[in-house]
């Protein structure tokens, strides 16, 4: 396996899982059906991450404030390790994310991608597009009035 390609791909699905709606992720995960046996390497725990910004948007970093994140690590019976880092405080969501991460490194990857990741990605894109479309409708079209100079 090409490791750079794998890391990019893995970054993609982990990122998608991190901000997924918990109810929807749970629904899709249950729809997928398989819930593999696993052992926690790190039980789900909620914590904070300090979010940083840059002065003027592009300058030196500063600490803006924290956000809640829940993480978890587990190993499948074949030893494959999965990590979950998700936004918010849901331990159940972090656990599903870690299981998906682990299974995505196995032969189940394509089925899982189709059952869980693809719909999540599609719905997320649709949500973003809806907001962008509403924003676009509020874009100001300037026009110049005819000036009475004659």
Partner 1 sequence: MYVAVKGGERAIENAHAWLAEERRGSKEVSELSLAQIREQLSLAVNRVMAEGSLYDPDLAALAIKQSRGDLIEAIFLIRAYRTTLPRFGCSKPVETGKMACDRRISATFKDAPGGQVLGPTFDYTHRLLDFKLAADGEVPEAAVAEPRREATPHITEFLQGEDIIEREPFSDAEPGDLTREPMSFPAGRAVRLQSLARGDEGFILGMAYSTQRGYARNHAFVGELRIGCVPVEMEIPELGFAIEIGEVELTECETVNQFKGSKTVPPQFTRGYGLVFGQSERKSIAMALVDRALRWEELGEDNVGAAAQDEEFVLSHADNIQATGFLEHIKLPHYVDFQSELELVRKLRREAEELAQTLAAREAAE
Q: Is 59 in the site for partner 1 (CB under 8 A)?
A: yes
Residue among 124, 130, 114, 102 nearest 20 (CA): 124
Nearest approach, Cβ of residue 89 and partner 1 (Å)? 7
Q: Token pair of 123, please?
A: 């719905």
Q: Is 19 in the site for partner 1 (CB under 8 A)?
A: yes
Residues 74-133 that bind partner 1 (CB under 8 A): 83, 85-89, 128-133
Q: Is 136 in the site for partner 1 (CB under 8 A)?
A: yes
Q: Is 47 in the site for partner 1 (CB under 8 A)?
A: yes
In this chain, which stretch among 27-35, 45-53, 104-112, 115-123 interacts with partner 1, using CB under 8 A?
45-53
- With the C-alpha atoms ordered 104, 106, 109, 111, is the resulting torsion angle positive or negative? negative
| 73, 82 Cβ separation under 8 angstroms | yes
| 25, 70 Cβ separation under 8 angstroms | no
Task: Classify residue 135 by burial, with Cβ atoms within 10 Å: 0-12, 13-18, 19+.
Answer: exposed
Q: Which residue's CB is nearer to partner 1, number 133 or number 150?
A: 133
Q: Is 5 in the site for partner 1 (CB under 8 A)?
A: no
Q: Give residues in contact with partner 1 (CB under 8 A).
A: 7, 10-11, 14-15, 18-19, 45-69, 71, 73, 83, 85-89, 128-140, 142
């Amino acid at each position: 396996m090409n490791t750079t390609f794998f890391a990019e791909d893995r970054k993609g699905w982990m990122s998608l899982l991190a901000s997924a709606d918990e109810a929807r992720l749970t629904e899709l995960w249950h729809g997928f059906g398989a819930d593999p046996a696993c052992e926690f390497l790190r039980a789900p725990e909620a914590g904070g991450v300090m979010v940083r910004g840059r002065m003027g948007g592009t300058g030196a970093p500063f600490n803006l404030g924290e956000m809640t994140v829940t993480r978890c690590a587990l190993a499948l019976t074949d030893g494959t390790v999965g990590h979950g880092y998700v936004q918010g405080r849901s331990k159940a969501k972090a656990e599903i994310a870690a299981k998906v991460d682990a299974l995505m490194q196995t032969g189940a990857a394509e089925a899982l991608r189709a059952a869980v990741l693809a719909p999540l990605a599609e719905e997320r894109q649709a949500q973003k597009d809806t907001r962008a479309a509403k924003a676009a409708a509020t874009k100001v079209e300037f026009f110049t009035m005819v000036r009475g100079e004659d």
